[in-house]
A and B are shown apart, each in its own frame.
Chain A
Amino acid sequence: EPEVTQTPSHQVTQMGQEVILRCVPISNHLYFYWYRQILGQKVEFLVSFYNNEISEKSEIFDDQFSVERPDGSNFTLKIRSTKLEDSAMYFCARTSGGTIQETQYFGPGTRLLVL
């Protein structure tokens, strides 16, 4: 099955600015996930999203973060007032169903650098 696509592939922003990362599913899937990977560290779960609602979020996913699917296709992760420690690779993933047995298909990621 095809992966999702993500835009942009790279983004550089100034500390305190807002960024929006986009995930574009190839087909009409309902289950989406965001993960991040700080350089040299583990891939960490941020949030899962089903049927236009957050189904689970990690402790990392605080009020600085939000997700939405504004136009029924793109799935976005918004980071308000970015901090230096937000610099990371952000991955979107999707499944056909919502159970963990389902394979999560990952996009190529967006590399975010906060200066």
Chain B
Amino acid sequence: AQSVTQLGSHVSVSEGALVLLRCNYSSSVPPYLFWYVQYPNQGLQLLLKYTTGATLVKGINGFEAEFKKSETSFHLTKPSAHMSDAAEYFCAVGQGGKLIFGQGTELSVKP
């Protein structure tokens, strides 16, 4: 069965700094990988996904993630954090027709 581990339940960065949120997965088959963001009092919004093809995936709001099979990782990055990026971020792997989520990482951005 697939599983997802997000390293760091809380990450704090300064505005303008690099954002790096870590995600490692376990999967016995080629994985489908997703990053979702949850703003306060809102639902989960898809940031980006990897299914097949190019391993560097670009998403909304300047985020991107790179699928590294050898490291079983799908880390999320953004070159320059903005205050509006403060939210909770979830990495997920597809299993059958459902998503298996990580624990989530809360990102805070300091002015």
A and B physically associate: yes
Point out residues on A near B: beta carbons under 8 Å.
3, 31, 33, 35, 41-45, 48, 55-56, 58, 91, 93, 98-101, 103-109
In this complex, the interface size class of chain B, counting residues with CB under 8 Å from chain A, is 20 to 34
In the complex formed, the residue of A with least CB distance to B9 is A40
Interface of B, helix, strand, loop or mixed by DSSP? strand
6 further interface pairs, Cβ-Cβ under 8 Å (given A43-B104, A100-B96): A42-B103, A45-B100, A100-B95, A101-B32, A103-B34, A109-B43
Contact yes or no, A56 B51, CB < 8 A = no
A-B contact count (CB 8 A): 59
Q: A43-B90, A101-B32 are in contact. Are A107 and B43 (CB under 8 A)?
A: yes
B49 on the interface (CB 8 Å rule)?
yes
Chain B 31-66 per-residue mask, 1 if CB under 8 angstroms from chain A, else 0: 010101000011111100101000000000000000
| A42 touching B102, Cβ below 8 Å | yes
A98 and chain B: residue at smallest CB distance: B97
Residue of B nearest to A47 (CB): B98
In the A-B complex, the 3 residue pairs with the smallest Cβ-Cβ separation, listed nearest first, are A100-B94, A106-B44, A106-B43
Instruction: Contacts A42-B104, A43-B90 given; indicate if A104 touches B99 (C-beta within 8 A).
Output: yes
Residues of B within 8 A of A48 (CB): 97-98
Residues of chain B with a CB closer than 8 A to A91's CB: 43-44
Cβ-closest chain A residue relative to B93: A100
In contact, A108 and B97 (Cβ under 8 angstroms): no
Q: How far is the CA of A93 from the CA of B90 in the complex (A)?
A: 15
Check if B101 is an interface residue, CB within 8 A of chain A: yes
Chain A residues within 8 Å of B36, by CB: 106
B101 near A42: Cβ-Cβ < 8 Å: yes
Q: A42-B104, A43-B90 are in contact. Are A103 and B46 (CB under 8 A)?
A: yes
Q: Known contacts being A42-B103, A43-B90, is A100 close to B42, with CB within 8 Å?
A: no
In the complex, A58→B42 CA distance in Å? 24
Whether B45 pairs with A55 at a CB distance below 8 angstroms is no
Assess the B44–A56 pair: CB atoms within 8 A: no
B90 and chain A: residue at smallest CB distance = A43
